[in-house]
Amino acid sequence: MFKKIFLIFFWLLLFTFVFPFLQHWSVSSFQSAQASQSLSGVHADISLTQEEVDFLRQHPVIRVGNEDDWPPFDFSRHGEPHGYAIEHLELLGERLGISFEYINGYTWAELLQLFREDKIDLLPSLWYSDERAEYMLFTEPFLVLPYVIVTHRNDESINNFEDLKGKTVAVASGYVQESVLKQHFPEIHRYQVVNVLEGLRAVSYGHADAYIGYHGSVSYLMTTNFLYDLKVVGETRVPELGPQGLYISVRKDMAPLRDIMQKAMDSIPENEKIRLGEKWFSIEDQSRPQFSAQEIQFLLDNPVLTVSNLKHWAPFNFNENGQPRGFVIDYMDLLAQKMGIEFRYISGPTWNEFLSMLQTKEIDILGDVVRTDKREHFILFTEPYFNFLSGIVVRRGEEDDINELSDLKGKTVAVPKDFYYHEILEYYFPEINILALDNPLRCLDAVSSGRADAALSEKPVFDYLINRYLLMDLVNIPILETDVLGSTPVSVGVHHEQELLHSILHKTMNVITREEISSLRDQWFRTEQAKDKSSLNLSTAEMNYLDSKDSIRLCVNPSWQPFEEIRDNNHYDGMVAGIMQMMEERINVPFYVQAASTWEESITLYEQGECDILTIARDTGLDQGAMLLSKPYLESLTVLVSRDQHTYIPDLSSIVWDKLAVVQGDPIKNFILTNYPEIETVVFETLEQALRGVSKREADIAIGNMHLVSSKIHEMGLYDLKIAGQTPYKEFFRVGVSPEQPELLNIIDKAIDDLSSQEINSIVRQWISIRYEQGIDYALVWQIGVVASFLVAFFLYWNRKLFRLNREIADAHRDLAVKTRELEKLSITDSLTGVYNRMKIERILDNEILRVNRSREPLSIILLDIDNFKGVNDEYGHQAGDMVLQRMSALLQDNIRRTDSLGRWGGEEFMVVCPHTDYKGAWNVAEKLRLKIMCADFGEVGKITGSFGVSEFVPGEHEDALLRRADDALYKAKNGGRNRTEIILKDEQPKS
């Protein structure tokens, strides 16, 4: 009886309360899905309120103010928005399913006024101030950088902010610095400028003593504009101009938009932020040569220098189809880029002729020269920038008889004529018969045909030629370190009287990064040397060590995600595992992972000599002398984790009122106690406990390794936590090597040096991405009874169906957005050549003229016509003509400046728009392009030339007048014999 009463009561309760609740929930979910559909797809990670949904429905397009001149954050190039903040905003727009209308062509002060007048809804990157907060709403900052002081390089009187008293500082109108100096530092004189670049130039030209600017923008502009006479003396370090965050701001009457943007910002995965930062700020990390005033003047006086280009020294320096190519050529181009000048390559002479040309100053630079006593009399050498081993080539089957140079006594050895091998053999091995031939390929042919017993030259050159020409009957034997010939260093050489040029080259070479060298080496040698241990420039002892090893045994942490782990199938995986795999490829000896169930067991195996290396030399408990440590191969930031409600944490000093959760035994704990004793700490045994402690409000903030924190938050499902800031503390990952194996330590260090930061980051991004994609597996368990479970399952199924429909619509919208961008690109691109079409290049010119009429900065254009193009079509056919247009477009695009724009004007005519450039600068650009075209090879068509017309815009005139002058100049160039550049200025006669 009691059971019957209970069942009746249960059913009444179910239909009275639960069923209506589920019905209401279902309808609400359906309405939410409909709302999301109307928004064309909000990302699943973003949860919007009904008010926010309604707002976006009413505002499908947001008006955004785009600055003209604040790179790399927010700037306009030919009327198109660019920069870190713009791409960050576009990323938010994609996740919200909304679009932006960019309003540009105004100064920063004008944009602020438009914002006040409600003609702009949002500003994508600006600083917070109390004055702005009166009419703006701000998100949390998406980036924090300091203010820095920039002075002239020769000015030693300014070293900090205090030294600015009584000095003149350039300030841009509308920028925070202007109001801060005016209000708080009246003793500092102000020099008014329009933007950051004008402020830097004011210091360079002596109009101001210093400029105070945002670190990212200052570094970017000093690098890209070759302002070598300026220097950053340090941060401002005053409260009013301390490290500043970049915010997104919206109008006060659009409050929901602020919360919407913040939610979208919070949903961006860490790997996306890393990718964005690498794209826009990698240029800031490039060190710049610190040239003296005399050296800067030399570069200004010598904008083009001549460099040797050999015909047959692949893959280092060779000429293919009329184009200089090779590792040396790419390296020299990198030097020219950092020096801000152009190298013109001279091809044709032999090596001996090049040496004579340097002596008589007919050429400026030898790009690849080996130091010898004889050459030191007339050449100044830089430090070597690469090394190579020599090689002896013999016929297959005869390699067992040749191990070193002394084995060649009495034999005929082919060597390249005039190369230093000739000198070495003559001096040290007079018993060897020398056969001097024109180039290394002829030397190989001599061995293959039997005219020579062996050939001697650079091993990489022989490797390249043997592979390219399939000379499978030959074997290349490396010559290891000997008293006479070993690893050969190669330098850049200049005439012994060119001390200034030697100093410039030396300074420029010093700022080329390991990653840049590694990238060039990958491009030219990785295919030939991927399995060649000599690619790491190993010593004889190191080579012998590797030859004695069948494998290198690794001891790893079997359960330390995401760094490394051993899975159930004994598969070694994780970030460190990926890096170890890349090192294994460099060393070319298999890595073998010793099985262990715990980290402690791995350490024991290492102590017992069962392992050659520990992949992560941390928390071992071993004595200092029990392990040799390699160079760091990975850096990991330490981050601060808080609950969602907590605001952004700019630095550790700002959390003195919060309880900080630290992990017992973590080195960061001692760092906090030593450097921030005022912070109250709560100690937990593990990182998992610390994170859960923050979630349960036992502490306010946790601190830990960024990669571990990201992994644990998602593994434990603690989605009420977020990364709220970072600390200056970094953890460095190193390899531990047994003290009995010093050769292995050197090999590991060389392999680490050979890894580029791009390769490391690709592994890190892969694992961050995986951890962010995993998410939560929701499991809702209802224990109300069989009938209630059935009803709940039905309604869950219905809502799941609606959710899936909503996701499909969101995916369709994203596909549509991609297609829209593709169509937009097609609408502005010439279908044959891939450069801008006439409509787009005209629009760019219109935007530049609008800008020039306001700023009065110079603007020039170049019109180019391919000479005798009709003859190409008549003789070779229209397909050949199309090929010429395509190759010409690629050549022009590769050789214009970053700020220039190229478009097809019609037929065989092209236009180049050159902003910030007067007619002299445009003439230099045109001449560079003309010479590039003249030296290029166009396949069966052969050589092609071009005629150029240049003109400079006069503010206030009509666009047609500018175009007419450029066209007249082009006509003059063609009538003057073609393959020339002419200039026509307003009211002037043509110039050439």
Q: Which residues are catalytic?
A: 908
Task: Give Cα separations from 851 to 102, 193, 650, 953, 961 (angstroms).
Answer: 16, 16, 37, 12, 17
DSSP character string of 684-726: ESSHHHHHHHHHTTS-SEEEEEHHHHHHHHHHHT-TTEEEEEE
DSSP-assigned states of every residue in 895-964: HS-TT-EEEEEETTEEEEEEET--HHHHHHHHHHHHHHHHH---GGG----EEEEEEE--TTS-HHHHHH
Cis peptide before 315 (omega within 30 of 0): yes
d(CA 413, CA 435): 6
Contact between residue 615 and residue 556 where contact means Cβ atoms under 8 Å apart: yes
How is 471-488 classified by DSSP, letter by letter?
-TTEEEEEE-S-SS--SE
Rg of the chain over Cα atoms, rounded to whole angstroms, equals: 34
> Nearest to residue 144, comparing CAs of 254, 273, 232?
273
Residue 786, exposed/middle/buried by CB under 10 A (0-12, 13-18, 19+)?
exposed
**How many other CB atoms sit within 10 Å of the CB of residue 875?**
12
Beta-carbon count within 10 A of 109 CB: 13
Q: How far apart are CA 975 and CA 141, in angstroms?
A: 60
Contact 257/173 with Cβ under 8 angstroms? no
Find the largest Cα–Cα distance for the chain: 119
Alpha-carbon span 892 to 908, nearest angstrom: 13
Residue 527: which of 590, 464, 604, 452 has the closest Cα?
464
The β-bridge partners of 344 are: 306
Q: What is the DSSP secondary-structure string of 392-437?
A: EEEETT-GGG-SSGGGGTTSEEEEETTSHHHHHHHHH-TTSEEEEE
Q: How far apart are CA 436 and CA 442, in angstroms?
A: 10
Helix (H, G, I), strand (E, B) or coil at 241: helix
Which three-class secondary structure state does DSSP give residue 976?
Answer: coil
Q: Which residues have CB under 8 Å from 743's CB, separation 6+?
A: 541, 542, 545
* Measured distance CA(77)–CA(97) in Å, rounded: 25
Distance CA 308, CA 350 (A): 10
Token pair, residue 656, equals 């003195």
Per DSSP, the three-state class of 280 is: helix
